[in-house]
């Protein structure tokens, strides 16, 4: 069997018009699905949780390490979940998944992450050794948890603003005074 039948060349002599600098996933990446305020909040989730994670990773020694390890797990998880939700909102995945499921996932991930991040920050604040890296991680942890929780309250506010469909009233075919 000739190699040409199995293998094709990996480069094209003349790429088509669909190819170029913005092709593939980059071409479909968009920030337009989120309002400006929501985008800023989502980016703050990402940046603050990453900064909290980096600061606690700089800590070289600890006496009570349970709080540090819990904070490490939570800050890393918060960063990854924030990144996941941002990817869902900004890529074609958003169009392939039901909008209600995306909003519901974002809602529960945000409130869960915010509450657990707050607990981890409090626990770490109670067990830290007062090194500058630990203090910076605690500050970023509290800031991140407050941003997550404020995003949750913003989502609750937006959800309550939406008009709710009313149930049709039951019609009675017989008189009430019969």
DSSP one-letter string for 23-90 = -THHHH--STTS-HHHHHHHHHHHHHHHHHHHHHHH----SSHHHHHHHHHHHHHHHHHHHHHHHHHH
pLDDT for res 150: 95
Rounded average pLDDT over 72-95: 91
Longest CA–CA span in the chain (Å) reads: 92
Contact 122, 72 (CB under 8 A): no
146-162: string of b/e by CB count within 10 Å (b at 16+)? bbbbebbeebeeeeeee
Domain ranges of the chain: 36-161
Whole-angstrom Cα distance, residue 152 to residue 49?
16
- Give residue 130's pLDDT band: very low, low, confident or very high (50, 70, 90): confident
Q: Which of 2-11, 23-32, 52-61 has the lowest mean pLDDT?
A: 2-11
* pLDDT of 1 above 60: no
Is the model's pTM score more than 0.85?
no
Mean pLDDT of the chain: 84
Question: Does residue 39 surpass a pLDDT of 80?
Answer: yes
pLDDT in tens, 137-157: 999 999 999 999 999 999 999
């Amino acid at each position: 069997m000739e190699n040409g039948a199995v293998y094709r060349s990996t480069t094209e002599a003349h790429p088509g018009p669909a190819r170029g600098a913005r092709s593939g996933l980059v071409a479909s990446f968009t920030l337009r699905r989120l309002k400006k305020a929501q985008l800023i909040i989502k980016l703050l989730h990402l940046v603050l949780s990453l900064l909290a994670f980096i600061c606690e990773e700089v800590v070289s020694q600890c006496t009570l390490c349970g709080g540090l390890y819990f904070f490490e797990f939570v800050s890393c998880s918060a960063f990854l979940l924030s990144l996941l939700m941002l990817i869902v909102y900004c890529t074609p995945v958003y169009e392939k998944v039901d909008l209600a499921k995306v909003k519901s996932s974002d809602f529960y991930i945000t409130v869960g992450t915010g509450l657990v991040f707050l607990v981890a920050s409090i626990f770490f604040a109670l067990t830290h050794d007062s090194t500058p890296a630990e203090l910076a991680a605690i500050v970023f942890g509290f800031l991140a948890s407050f941003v997550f929780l404020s995003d949750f309250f913003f989502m609750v506010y937006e959800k309550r603003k939406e008009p709710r469909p009313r149930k049709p009233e039951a019609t009675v075919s017989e008189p009430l005074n019969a």
